[in-house]
Amino acid sequence: AQKITQTQPGMFVQEKEAVTLDCTYDTSDPSYGLFWYKQPSSGEMIFLIYQGSYDQQNATEGRYSLNFQKARKSANLVISASQLGDSAMYFCAIRLRFGAGTRLTVKP
Amino acid sequence: DTGVSQDPRHKITKRGQNVTFRCDPISEHNRLYWYRQTLGQGPEFLTYFQNEAQLEKSRLLSDRFSAERPKGSFSTLEIQRTEQGDSAMYLCASSLAQDYGYTFGSGTRLTVV
C-alpha cells in the first residue's frame, strides 16, 4: 500500500518569494506517478503537476516545479514568486492516495 | 465539455435513509474515482472504475456503500442506512489514464441529521 506524508500542516510565505512544500512517500511499486493538487477555500480541487518515477528531469509547470528525489522518496513542490491567489491547501498524491495536505498562506 | 459534473450539490438526509449521488465524468476519460473528504483532511479514496469495471475498492467502503458505472459513462454512489459519520463532501474525479492528473467535480456535500 502507498503512504503519503506531508509534515507541514501550515506554511506562511511572503508575496513574491519562493516556498517549498514537503512530501515524502512510501510505495513498493517499481513504477509510479506523483501528483500535486491545490484546493482553494472555494473547495474545488485543481491538478497542478505530475512527476513519473522514471522521468529523468524534474517536472515543471509555470511557477510550479517538483524537487523529486527518488532515493529519498521525496517529491517536494516548489512555488516560485508566490502570489496572494496561491493561498490554499496543497495535497500530494500517489496512486489513488492523498496526503493530509499543507495549508499555505501568502502574506502581502 | 463542461468538466466533471456531480449531482446534487448538497444533500441533507435523516439518519437511516438511503442516498444516491451521481457523477458525470469528462466524456473521453475512461477512469472515474470516488473520494470522501472531511473538513481539514485530504481526500480519502473510496473506489475507482476503468470503463465499467470497478477495479479497486477501499476497505473504508463498508457494505453500506456501493458504486456503479453501468455503461462506462456516468457513475452512482449509494449509501444505505446513513449514519452521522457519513457526513462529508463526496468528490468524484475522472482521468484519461493512470498517469494523468484528475479532473475533480465540485462535490456533493452530505449532511446526515
Contact state of A35 with B93 under an 8 Å Cβ cutoff: no
Report the gap between the CA of A75 and the closest CA in chain B (Å): 16
Q: What are the tens digits of pLDDT across the range B34-80?
A: 999 999 899 999 999 999 999 999 987 778 999 999 988 999 999 99
Q: Which residues contact A44 (CB under 8 A, 6 or more apart)?
A: B104, B106
Hey, how many other C-beta atoms are within 10 angstroms of the C-beta on B1? 8
Q: What are the tens digits of pLDDT across the range A19-77?
A: 999 999 999 988 999 999 999 999 999 999 999 999 989 999 999 999 999 999 999 99
User: What span, in angstroms and rounded, lies between the C-alpha atoms of B33 and B25?
Assistant: 9
Report the pLDDT value the prediction gives residue B1, as an integer from 0 to 100: 55
Contact state of A43 with B102 under an 8 Å Cβ cutoff: no
Hey, how many other C-beta atoms are within 10 angstroms of the C-beta on B76? 14
Q: Which residue of A has its CA nearest to B42?
A: A100
Burial class from Cβ neighbours inside 10 Å (0-12, 13-18, 19+) for residue B113 reads: exposed
Interface probe for A, chosen from B90, B104, B106, B108 (most Cβ of A below 10 Å), is: B104
SS3 A85: helix
Interface probe for B, chosen from A45, A61, A91, A103 (most Cβ of B below 10 Å), is: A45
User: What span, in angstroms and rounded, lies between the C-alpha atoms of A4 and B43?
Assistant: 12
Contact state of A45 with B45 under an 8 Å Cβ cutoff: no
Q: How far is the CA of B31 from the CAs of A61, B19, B82, in angstroms?
A: 24, 23, 27
